[in-house]
Amino acid sequence: MSSIFTKKNTVIALIVLAFVIPFVLQNQYYLHVLTLACIWSIAVYGLNLLAGFTGYLSLAHAGFFAIGAYSLGLLTVKAELSFWLAFLISLIITMIIGSFIGLIALRTKEHFFAIYTLCVGYIIYLVIDKWDSLTGGVRGLIGIPAPANIGPISFTTPLSQYYFVLVVTLLCILMVYRIVHSLTGRTFIAIRNSEELALSLGISTTKNKLLSFVLSTFFAGIAGALYGSFIRFIGPEISYTTIMFDFLTYLIVGGIGTLSGPIVGTFLIVLLSQNLQFLQDYRMLIFGPLLTLLIIFSPRGIVGFVITKYHQRQRKISAVLKDARAKEG
């Protein structure tokens, strides 16, 4: 009970810190970086749901991120729909495309699945880059509107946009938490641990894998739509493979298959990379060896390492108490 209480207090403290940090920093640049980190973390949570909890690594995630962004941009800039209606439709479009791709992709397994989705992600990039009449090609889309006002609440300032993105991020984390701790989430984990065993227990692995894939694209679509409305300009580079491997790096560093890993890894890498801007291209000489060492010594990332050490400590404490009771008896 005490450990649960401590975790609850930690979560509350971090949420309070997230809400008050703009008044502490009072720096527009860092506020911009924090807003972007929140957006990236939503996409990484979607990737973690599929790769970390279901065991299928999709390398098309940046493509679905771009679909969400471009859907919002096209619906608001060219179709001139209202922001909130366009936002909702962009998520539906992303999930529909995701379901069709997932139906084919999930016929493959392991590295074949990863290779297939990598190809799909690159095809999405080529479509966005070459379909000039629709997407604007290399020129991209300019003038994507900020979120429309909700009554007296406006989202025109960087501070209001930060709070809007923060609230959406917290809601997404809560959704992932509820999914993982539901029967559906346990089914995903059963598939990850042993798909053959899950089949023998009567679990419809095809249906649940597809559900996980579509949910993953849903979070990628949310992140993409938020990114488009925040930056106000998007180009084909947001669907390129480098963005996909950024997402994967955030997840691996934070802790794949953990609930807090995506946000820990995203914020850590984003903030570190921003503070190492003066090194320019030499940054990768630092990140490369550090990432290699992390994968070797802690395959479950920073959060996984902390969880492992915590459980080891708890087992030691339990063993000591057991020995003390045995001596007393």
Distance CA 117, CA 119 (A): 5
pLDDT of res. 93: 96
Output 166-170 pairs: Cβ under 8 A, ≥24 positions apart: 166/18, 166/19, 166/35, 166/38, 168/38, 168/42, 168/222, 168/226, 169/38, 169/39, 169/41, 169/42, 169/263, 170/15
Closest CA to 140 of 41, 217, 220, 227: 227
Distance CA 156, CA 154 (A): 6
Q: Is pLDDT of 250 > 60?
A: yes
pLDDT of res. 28: 87
Burial label, 136 (beta-carbon count in 10 A; 0-12, 13-18, 19+): buried
pLDDT of res. 304: 85
Helix (H, G, I), strand (E, B) or coil at 154: coil
DSSP letter for each residue of 12-41? HHHHHHHHHHHHHH--HHHHHHHHHHHHHH
- When pLDDT is averaged across residues 1-15 and rounded to a whole number, the result is 70
- When pLDDT is averaged across residues 141-145 and rounded to a whole number, the result is 91
Identify the DSSP state of 77: I
Entry pTM? 0.91
- Residue 5 confidence class, pLDDT cut points 50, 70, 90: very low
pLDDT of res. 281: 66
pLDDT of res. 308: 82
Distance CA 139, CA 132 (A): 8
Tens digit of pLDDT for each residue in 21-55? 988 887 888 899 999 999 999 999 999 999 999 99
Closest CA to 102 of 221, 216, 219, 213: 213
